[in-house]
């Protein structure tokens, strides 16, 4: 093979480097004092970090009509002629040993047909999906195993810029790897595809395959879940991101209890404050967001807030911008009481409100009908002026997926009854289990009928 000389040269180089390192190894002690080492900490941490392997069977179709549920059903087209298996690797952290609960990234297991977990000691287990949250890129999977080490979530709010951290994961499928660095920044946002963003930025090397792995401090405490890197070239450039443990704790608790994250809502739409708006609203502080719309019947509508008011803090946590407000709002537990600080005509005020779940904004299909299990339904943004209900996600291998429903579809009728928004769609349920459930959808401007 033409590549063989390069391969042998590389092996020779590695062998020579290994010999050089072995003969020039540092002493264990200097003047009787042991050299500092992370080894004792890592001996406690690494058994709880696992490799996550997924397999996804991708259907390969010979005709574009296979994607059309109408043609598939009424012309009795054959099922999948062939399929291709895609495999991917990632990482995870055992956070509850007795329950076998593993925290990882949603994008590691998203769409997977099979999930397997390999422990540090070589044991391998099949894993089941407990729940996943695309908006924070977190997922919980479970394995049935004995004597599992665990790494409980720590209070990441104690982190400071400059703290030393260690990333543990499975980069490029090489096996468990440890890298170190510092906390470069806190509260980072701006990554595409995620609704709630409050990342820890670190220069500890995070590469493909590290996703879902552990970010720990020098005491071996789990402070984050590695999730992404910023890279113009595809390699590590010293800018990695981890989801804070405080966020992961809240999301995991709901995934374990409900299989989904049920989020509360303040019921407002906001925008960032420009210099001109600050001057017009007599706002001297740098933070805050201005309310552009208060939804009727929402918590803040009942409390008397209105368009033009400036929200400055939630429960004492400053609101810097609209993304910051979404981050706080997304972690508010349904049913809790919070204090909202605001400015009106330059004068401060506070209201105490109860956080309620906005079922007209987002709901899992399973809560409407078992046949819609794995479907996530959301309100179409008001500014689009489109009618119907947006299908944000459909989990693979569910009844709805097999029937042909896909993310991006817009449901415009249920059992031939038009629905203009999510509230009207909820009003069409329950549908008796012995009665067929039909959904009229729009997909890229074309109408289809999906039968469940």
C-alpha span between 192 and 422 (Å, rounded): 26
List phi, psi (to 5°) of 196.
Answer: -115, 120
Q: Does residue 41 sit in helix, strand or coil? A: helix
Q: Which of 341, 338, 300 is nearest to 319 (CA)?
A: 341
**Residue 253: partners with Cβ closer than 8 Å, 6 or more residues away:** none
Check 133, 137, 217, 309 and give the catalytic one. Answer: 137
Distance between CA atoms of residues 177 and 319, nearest Å: 37
C-alpha distances in Å from residue 452, one per residue of 26, 223, 274: 67, 44, 49
Cα separation, 246 vs 199, whole angstroms: 11
Annotated catalytic residue: which of 91, 107, 156, 341?
107
User: Catalytic annotation on 211?
Assistant: yes
Ramachandran region, residue 267 (left: φ > 0; alpha: ψ -120 to 50; beta: rest): left
DSSP three-state, residue 387: coil
DSSP per-residue letters across 191-258: -TT-SS--EEEE-S---TT-TT-EEEETT--EEEEEEEE--SSSS--S-EEEEEHHHHHHHHHHHHHH
Three-class secondary structure of residue 74 per DSSP: helix
State whether the Cα torsion 400-405-406-411 is positive or negative: negative
Active site residue 345: no
- The one catalytic residue in 91, 156, 205, 211 is 211
Provide CB contacts within 8 A for 244, sequence distance 6+: 156, 157, 159, 198, 199, 200, 223, 224
Residues known to be catalytic: 107, 137, 211
């Amino acid at each position: 093979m033409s590549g063989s000389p390069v391969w042998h040269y590389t092996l020779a180089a590695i062998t020579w480097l290994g010999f050089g390192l072995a003969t020039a190894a540092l002493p264990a002690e200097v003047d009787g004092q042991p050299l500092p080492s992370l080894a004792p900490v890592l001996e406690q941490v690494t058994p709880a970090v696992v490799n996550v392997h997924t397999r996804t069977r991708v259907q390969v179709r010979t005709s574009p009509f296979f994607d059309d549920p109408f043609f598939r059903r009424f012309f009795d087209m054959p099922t999948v002629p062939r399929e291709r298996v895609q495999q991917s690797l990632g990482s995870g952290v055992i956070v509850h040993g007795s329950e076998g609960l593993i925290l990882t990234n949603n994008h590691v297991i998203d769409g997977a047909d099979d999930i397997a977990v390999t422990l540090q000691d070589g044991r391998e287990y099949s894993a089941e999906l407990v729940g996943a949250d695309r908006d924070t890129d977190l997922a919980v999977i479970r394995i049935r195993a004995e004597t599992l080490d665990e790494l409980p979530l720590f209070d990441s709010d104690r982190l400071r810029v400059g703290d030393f951290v260690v990333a543990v994961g499975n980069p490029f499928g090489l096996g468990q790897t440890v890298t170190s660095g510092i906390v470069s920044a806190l509260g980072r946002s701006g990554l595409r595809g995620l609704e709630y963003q409050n990342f820890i930025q670190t220069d500890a090397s995070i590469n493909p395959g590290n996703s879902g792995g552990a970010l720990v401090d020098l005491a071996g405490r789990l402070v984050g879940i590695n999730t992404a890197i910023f890279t113009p070239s595809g390699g590590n450039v010293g800018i990695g991101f981890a989801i804070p443990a405080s966020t992961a704790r809240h999301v995991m608790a709901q995934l374990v209890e409900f299989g989904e994250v049920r989020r509360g809502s303040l019921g407002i739409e906001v925008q960032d404050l420009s210099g001109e708006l600050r001057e017009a609203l007599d706002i001297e502080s740098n933070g805050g967001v201005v309310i552009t719309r208060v939804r009727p019947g929402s918590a803040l509508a009942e409390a008397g807030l209105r368009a033009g008011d400036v929200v400055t803090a939630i429960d004492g946590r400053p609101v810097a911008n609209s993304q910051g407000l979404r981050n706080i709002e997304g972690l508010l537990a349904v049913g809790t009481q919070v204090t909202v600080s605001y400015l009106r005509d330059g004068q401060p005020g506070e209201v105490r409100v109860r956080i309620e779940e906005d079922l007209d904004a987002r709901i899992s299909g399973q809560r409407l009908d078992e046949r819609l299990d794995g479907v996530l339904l959301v309100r179409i943004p008001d500014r689009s002026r489109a009618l119907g209900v947006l299908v944000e996600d459909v989990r693979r291998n569910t009844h709805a997926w097999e029937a042909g429903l896909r993310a991006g579809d817009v449901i415009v009728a249920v059992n031939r009854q038009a629905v203009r928004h999510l509230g009207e769609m909820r009003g069409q349920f329950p549908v008796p289990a012995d009665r067929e459930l039909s959904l009229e959808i729009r997909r890229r401007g074309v109408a289809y009928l999906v039968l469940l």
